[in-house]
Amino acid sequence: MSRPMFEHAALVGIGLIGSSISHAMRRKGLAGTITGSARTKATVDTALKLGLIERGYASAAEAVKGADLVILSVPVGACRALAAEIAPHLRQGAIVTDVGSVKAAVVRDIAPHVPKGVHFVPGHPIAGTEQSGPEAGFAELFDNRWTILTPEPGTDKAAVEKLKAFWMALGAKVEIMTPEHHDMVLAVTSHLPHLIAYNIVNTAEHLERVTDSEVIKFSAGGFRDFTRIAASDPTMWRDVFLNNRDAVLEMLGRFSEDLTALQRAIRFGDGDTLFRLFTEARRVRRGIIEAGQDTAAPDFGRQHKADGDVPQPSGKSARK
């Protein structure tokens, strides 16, 4: 048997992402042993029971001892304290990475704590579901998705290359960019969509002339799609918005400006403008499907009965 890529991987945080990394590591035998720690004992126990880790600890400091790969999979607001806690216990030559949805703030919070001889390479897999916790993970989560790495200039090249190879072995494609550019790109492809989804759900909940029950019953008109995103982990998303404020506010400004233009077009009955903008939007969808970043199946391939016992109808995949 060939040697695994890492002798000992430590998972600090074992939620959706941490547990999916474990599944994907196991699939390819990327780590000799996997240890882990989590904020709650229940999570550690579940992770042990599911075989996500071989040894579990309440303390991150214990979990990382001797590891040549340390992956922080925690809300970005928790990174600073964890980095301080694990710093004295990191093995020389180890690679430390994270999976946070914000990168500049994470670099600011983690980098100062990383000892000389340890390689910090920040990362962010652009993948997830609306579910949380160690039972939500699965090995395929990163397949064909992008992971962005944002190493500072001067980071050990071999460490960056090794982490890149690791993510590719997990199934992902890898791109390298600056933390600042990452935060701008994700502000539009992830943070703004989540903010808007949270917002429309809250708007719908607080109407006087439409009941909550009506909102739920007739949600298949489009609203239900937004509720999936808005069911994502509140702690994670609070931290994202607190830590990527400037880029999110900039994108929000653009969004509101464009929405005002649409609002005017509706108010003044400008059908040509509406038609033109709606037609342009179709092109982006096609690009995403061609790039393999979403399914071409109508309605995301949703089962057309909520109880899921209806087979995919054959006519459903017919397309113009």
Stretch of 53-61, 103-111, 128-136, 157-165 lying at the interface with a second copy (CB under 8 A)? 128-136
Quick check: 73 binds a second copy (CB under 8 A)?
no
Q: Could you give the CA distance from residue 153 to residue 188 in angstroms, rounded to a whole number?
A: 25
Quick check: 306 binds a second copy (CB under 8 A)?
yes
Quick check: 17 binds a second copy (CB under 8 A)?
no
Q: Could you give the CA distance from residue 122 to residue 103 in angstroms, rounded to a whole number?
A: 7
Stretch of 59-67, 108-116, 154-162, 216-224 lying at the interface with a second copy (CB under 8 A)? 216-224
* Binding-site member from 1, 154, 222, 309 for a second copy (CB under 8 A): 222
Map the footprint of a second copy across residues 135-164, applying CB under 8 A. 135-141, 143-146, 148
Which residue has 């590891």 as its token pair?
Answer: 67
Stretch of 28-36, 86-94, 152-160, 192-200 lying at the interface with a second copy (CB under 8 A)? 192-200
Quick check: 111 binds a second copy (CB under 8 A)?
no
Quick check: 176 binds a second copy (CB under 8 A)?
no
Quick check: 304 binds a second copy (CB under 8 A)?
yes
| Residue nearer to a second copy on the CB measure, 7 or 143 | 143
Strands (E), the chain: 6-12, 31-37, 55-57, 69-72, 95-98, 119-120, 123-125, 146-149, 173-176
Count Cβ neighbours within 10 Å for each residue of 259-281 and write b for 16 or more, e otherwise: eeeeeebeeeeeeeeeeeeeeee
Quick check: 41 binds a second copy (CB under 8 A)?
no
Structure-block tokens of residue 142: 């990163």
Q: How many CB atoms lie within 10 A of CB 219?
A: 14
Quick check: 198 binds a second copy (CB under 8 A)?
yes
258, 94 in Cβ contact below 8 A? no
